[in-house]
Amino acid sequence: MCGICGVFETAGGRVSRTALRRMTDALAHRGPDADGYLLAEHGGAAAELAEAPVALGHRRLKIIDLSDSANQPMLFEGGRLAVVFNGEIFNYRELLAEHFSDRRPLTTSDTEVIGWAYRKWGLDCFRRFNGFFAIAIYDADRDLLVLARDRMGKKPLFYYQQQGHFAFGSELKALFAYPHLTRSLDEEALLAYLTFLYVPGDGCILQHCRKLPAGSYLTIDGKGEVHTERYYDVLAAPAHPTTPPRSLEESEDELDRLLTDATRLRLISDVPLGAFLSGGIDSSTIVAYMCRAGTTRPRTFTIAYEDPKFNEGPFAAAVAKHLGTDHTELVAQPDDALALIERMPQIYDEPFADPSALPTTLLSELTRRHVTVALSGDGGDELFFGYDRYKRALEFARWTWIPQVLRSSLAHMLFQFGPRGVKQGRRIEQPDFASYFLLRSCVFNRYDLPRLTGQPFPDDNELTRVLRRLDDVPLHRRMRAAEARVYLCDDILQKVDRASMSCALETRAPLLDHRVVEFALGLPQDLVLRGRTRKYLLKKLLYKHVPEEIFRRPKMGFRIPLGSWFRGKLRPMLDQYLEPERLRKQGLLRPEFVTQLVNNHVAGKLDAAHPLFSLLVFQMWYDTYLS
């Protein structure tokens, strides 16, 4: 696990070694163990230059092969091919044995296999990797820079392109240190952020910056011509399932086989390894498979709260006791999370307002004090129908027989019955499922966003495009696939990446092995939702290892009491950052609407915790990077 960055100038520009070091050092938290730099002329091998048009930087967190010989940039062919890499290729040993047995490796690292794979298969090499990664390759023979991102988008990769300048980095922090970056707000991305709590897809909060989409690669040549292509599409699995229908027993056996191998691969490490354990279905499943793989008393970690409404500590402890793990629990105090809010712009250098980022960061910091790698249950909810909102969203199908004009009339009747009537009426009047699911996924929706910003609601957005593309796919698959492409990739995985890498902790998610993903998204509805039971197949497997009684409780999620904090300890922060005159001078948000939202929440007239948190986080980010 590392941080990567680089520059590829195509209009006569050059970057100094000093500037490259600044960009790389901005990622030091991702890789505190070593650093490395490459500078080269176009079409030339790596050289000891003071400045050059081509540059790569790397910060290393040592996980596999702890020797200095595995440091990066890793050079091949006398420096004519160079690789920097963030992540893990879990099947590198299999690739080595099957395709490169004639080579004499200089390291035991996966980075070396990336260089060989690129030379053997070119851009097709990324399809052969099982892992998570952001990779940059400079091919001097073709004067070509190649960037690639893993299938599910677990590892981030930003890039900037403007007037012959091209730079990239694992986080925006590296680009902020790039001398030619122009810092200006992308207002379209701001609308997307206010809609979702994060900027989805390939968008970025800064103009001329983008994110490389998950499962994609990008090439830029010496003439400055950029080409991007998606080599893996997670939407293909639900649209065209390759798995023939199976019985319950056959499906159970296949998922068991896939999870066994996915977990085995993710236990490869030359440093101490543990797991997050919330006591929920997903993390408990992963820990159970770790034990089954032969890990003796694995280290497990959880965050607990004194407030029983938010405390999963006792359930995690029960699972840990049953599986015999070496369990560590931290009882988080409100001041711990409150202090983290002030660090949000430093940890998430693009506005990001999922409140669960706070406990995730606390959990990561606790875990890093004991191990360097942690397995997690990320992906279980999205792939196996774990959210209650999925079940509720299926209700939309019951209304579709009613013509939309009649539903609209019924909605206007419901509007007369107060807030609950307005909420239900708005759901009923949506023209199609994509609009309905978007409404249920929004923070500021099509009704509120224009009042907040004065701008029209972005109906054509990442989520609705994906849902409409899958219009012929059964609803249960459509929702899960769309969430895997958008919410899982751009919220959950980015949250965990920034939280864990802020303290140099690597996280691995066996449920996001692409074989597990494809299998899950191809399952029929009765294997993910049977009666009132969500995650039916996954639970069947788990209950072979952990008693079902431990999990007989409502789903809690990774939450914090944000609403009450905004009425108490966080109220001064709201008053500071959402002060009307400040907003008026900024000219992006309407002060009257924001003030009304604050007052109604503080008075208990509505719960606006998530909308207020999104506004607070944006203002803090704006003050940090653009003011």
How many structural domains compose the chain?
A: 3
Task: Cis check for the bond before 179: say yes or no (omega within 30 of 0).
Answer: no
> Of 524, 551, 578, which one is at a domain's C-terminal end?
551
Separation CA 589–CA 591 (nearest Å) = 6
Range in 242-256, 370-384, 523-537 with the lowest mean pLDDT: 242-256
Domain membership flag for residue 8: yes
| Same domain? 510 vs 600 | no
Residue 113 located in a structural domain: yes
The pLDDT of residue 415 is 85
465, part of any domain = no
Question: How many C-beta neighbours within 10 Å does residue 117 have?
Answer: 22
Is 185 a member of any domain?
A: yes
- Report the distance separating Cα 537 and Cα 544, nearest Å: 12
410 band by pLDDT with thresholds 50, 70 and 90 = confident
Q: Determine whether 21 is exposed, middle or buried from the number of CB atoms within 10 Å of its CB (0-12, 13-18, 19+).
A: middle
Q: How much of the chain is helix, strand and coil, in % rounded to 5?
A: 45, 15, 35
For residue 618, what are its two tokens?
Answer: 């944006």
- The answer to whether residue 143 scores a pLDDT higher than 70 is yes
Most confident of the ranges 170-174, 301-305, 308-312, 425-429: 170-174
The average pLDDT across 95-110 equals: 94
Q: Is residue 466 part of a domain?
A: no
In a domain, 583, yes or no: yes
Q: Are residues 375 and 524 in the same domain?
A: yes
**88 — alpha (psi -120 to 50), left (phi > 0) or beta?**
beta
pLDDT at 556: 62
Name, in order, each residue with C-beta under 8 angstroms of 316's C-beta and a sequence gap of 6 or more.
277, 278, 279, 283, 300, 302, 304, 327, 329
- Whether residue 220 sits in one domain with residue 256: no
Q: Which of 199, 230, 261 represents a domain boundary (last residue)?
A: 230
Residue 169 has pLDDT above 80, yes or no: yes
**pLDDT for position 242:** 66
Same domain, 66 and 183: yes
The domain of 353 spans: 236-386+495-551
Same domain, 201 and 278: no
* Strand, coil or helix: 557: coil
Give residue-wise pLDDT tens across range 307-349: 777 778 899 999 999 999 999 999 888 788 888 999 999 999 9
Of the listed ranges 52-66, 168-182, 394-408, the least confidently predicted one is 394-408
* Closest C-alpha to 493, from 313, 360, 367, 322: 360
Lowest pLDDT segment from 64-68, 387-391, 463-467: 387-391
- Smallest CA-to-CA distance from 463 within 484, 443, 494, 449 is with 484
Outline where 417-501 has alpha helix (H): 418-428, 433-441, 449-453, 462-469, 475-483, 493-501
Residue 612 has pLDDT above 80, yes or no: yes
- The answer as to whether 444 is a domain residue is no
Residue 142 resides in a domain: yes
Burial label for 405, CB within 10 Å (0-12, 13-18, 19+), is exposed
| pLDDT-based confidence at residue 57 (cuts at 50, 70, 90) | very high
Q: Assess whether pLDDT exceeds 90 at residue 611.
A: yes
Percent of the chain with pLDDT over 70: 98
Measure the CA angle with vertex 495, ends 392 and 510; round to 5°. Answer: 80
Q: Is the domain of 15 the same as that of 57? A: yes
Q: What is the mean pLDDT of residues 423-427?
A: 88
Nearest to 126 by CA among 95, 98, 100, 97: 95
Q: Which CATH number goes with the domain that contains 241? A: 3.40.50.620
Q: 């902790």: which residue's tokens?
A: 505
Q: Is the distance from CB of 126 to CB of 148 less than 8 angstroms? A: yes
CATH number of the domain enclosing 125 = 3.60.20.10
- Token pair 């890789």: residue: 31
- Based on the domain organization, do 286 and 164 belong to the same domain? no
In this prediction, residue 400 carries a pLDDT of: 79
Q: With a cut of 70, say whether residue 56 has pLDDT above it.
A: yes
pLDDT band at 243 (very low <50, low <70, confident <90, very high): low
CA–CA separation, 293 and 622 (whole Å):
47
pLDDT digits (tens, 9 = 90+) for 267-317: 999 999 999 999 999 999 999 999 999 888 999 999 988 777 777 889 999
| pLDDT for position 376 | 98
Which one, of 5, 4, 56, 3, lies nearest residue 181 by Cα?
5
- Over range 351-376, report the average pLDDT: 96
Residue where the block lists tokens 């597990």 = 516
376/241 same-domain check: yes
CA distances from 345 to 92, 565, 597 (A): 36, 19, 23
Same domain, 123 and 68: yes
Residue range 86-103: mean pLDDT, rounded: 96
Rounded mean pLDDT, 473-491: 96
Report the pLDDT averaged over residues 594-613: 94
Q: In the structure, what pLDDT confidence band is assigned to residue 558 with cuts at 50, 70 and 90?
A: low
CA angle, residues 341, 346, 347, in degrees to nearest 5: 75
Instruction: Tell me which of 506, 526, 551 is where a domain ends.
Output: 551
**269 and 173 within one domain:** no
Report residue 363 as tokens.
């959990």
pLDDT at residue 404, rounded to an integer: 83
pLDDT at 354: 95
Q: Are residues 572 and 587 in the same domain?
A: yes
Q: What is the pLDDT of residue 557?
A: 61
Query: What 3-state class would DSSP assign to 273?
Result: strand
Across the range 369-393, mean pLDDT stands at 95
Residues 509 and 542 in one domain: yes
- Please state, in angstroms and rounded to a whole number, the distance separating the CA atoms of residues 245 and 234: 20
> 490-500 b/e with 16+ CB inside 10 Å = b?
bbbbbbbbbbb
Better-scored residue on pLDDT, 482 or 304: 482
